[in-house]
């Protein structure tokens, strides 16, 4: 007879018996007959259908999509949607990859890594997409080495300003004014002179006190700078 038992079909088609059970359970591939004792028997049609199912699964369609297509739905549409979703995923994953590699190369300890990631997350929360693109372009333009330089320059500069403030130096004192000018220059270099971006940066520091404590200037410090530059 040309009816196959489940194990034979499994071997011939390369899927597991359990998978066939599953397809039966969800109604995707139901055996044409059963023996009186309940053993599944698959006929020619089912064998052909299984081939199709396997093929479609290799193309990564979901079982539901496969069922839909085999029911005669518009295959072109299903495929188009599938491709669209795939493309989206690819784009996202590529972005992720790029970031992760950049990340892994720029930080070494776990803490530094987390720092960097958190900062990236925050940036995405506070900047619009075009702004982020602009910042990326800006970084590209500045180059890695200058970026690193600026990153180490920033805390030193802040420390020196803080000292002047603590010492009570007049904000109009030339030494302070010089520091303040460096300060502005650094910010301009980062923002590319874009006022909107600077505003977003300000919002970030205003709302995320945790970040401000580590990297940013508190209110007293930024007032001091503002007076120096006025």
The least CB distance from residue 2 to DNA, in Å, is: 14
The least CB distance from residue 216 to its own copies, in Å, is: 16
In DSSP terms, 5 is beta-bridged to: 41
- Exposure of 65 in the CB half-sphere (CA atoms within 13 A): 18
- Collapsing DSSP states into helix, strand and coil, what is residue 213? helix
Tell me which of 6, 17, 120, 142 binds its own copies, using CB under 8 A: 120
Position 38 contacts DNA (CB under 7 A): yes
- Cα R_g (the chain), whole angstroms: 31
Q: Are 31 and 8 in contact (CB under 8 A)?
A: no
What residues numbered 123-152 form the site for its own copies, per CB under 8 A?
124
Determine whether 147 is exposed, middle or buried from the number of CB atoms within 10 Å of its CB (0-12, 13-18, 19+): middle
Tell me which of 39, 99, 146, 202 binds DNA, using CB under 7 A: 39
Secondary structure percentages of the chain, helix, strand, coil, to 5: 75, 5, 20
The least CB distance from residue 156 to its own copies, in Å, is: 25
Binding mask 1-20 for DNA (x = CB under 7 A): ----xxxx-x-----xxxx-
Position 213 contacts its own copies (CB under 8 A): no
Residues at the contact surface with DNA, assessed by CB under 7 A: 5-8, 10, 16-19, 21-22, 35-40, 57, 62-64
């Amino acid at each position: 007879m040309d009816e196959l038992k489940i194990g034979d079909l499994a071997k011939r088609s390369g899927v597991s018996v359990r998978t066939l059970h599953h397809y039966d359970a969800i109604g995707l591939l139901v055996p044409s007959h059963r023996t009186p004792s309940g053993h599944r028997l698959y006929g020619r049609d089912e064998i052909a259908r299984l081939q199709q199912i396997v093929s479609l699964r290799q193309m990564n369609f979901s079982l539901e999509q496969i069922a839909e297509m085999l029911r005669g739905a518009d295959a072109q549409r299903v495929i188009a949607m599938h491709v669209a979703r795939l493309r989206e995923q690819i784009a996202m994953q590529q972005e992720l990859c790029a970031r992760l590699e950049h990340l892994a190369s720029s930080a070494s300890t776990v803490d530094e890594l987390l720092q960097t990631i958190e900062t990236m997350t925050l940036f995405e929360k506070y900047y619009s997409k075009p702004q982020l693109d602009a910042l990326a372009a800006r970084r590209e333009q500045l180059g890695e080495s200058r970026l690193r330089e600026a990153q180490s320059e920033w805390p030193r500069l802040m420390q020196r300003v803080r000292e002047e403030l603590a010492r009570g130096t007049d904000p109009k004192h030339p030494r302070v004014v010089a520091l303040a000018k460096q300060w502005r220059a650094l910010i301009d270099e980062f923002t590319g002179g874009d006022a909107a971006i600077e505003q977003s940066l300000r919002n970030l520091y205003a709302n995320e006190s945790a970040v401000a404590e580590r990297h940013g200037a508190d209110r007293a410090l930024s007032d001091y700078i503002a007076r120096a530059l006025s």
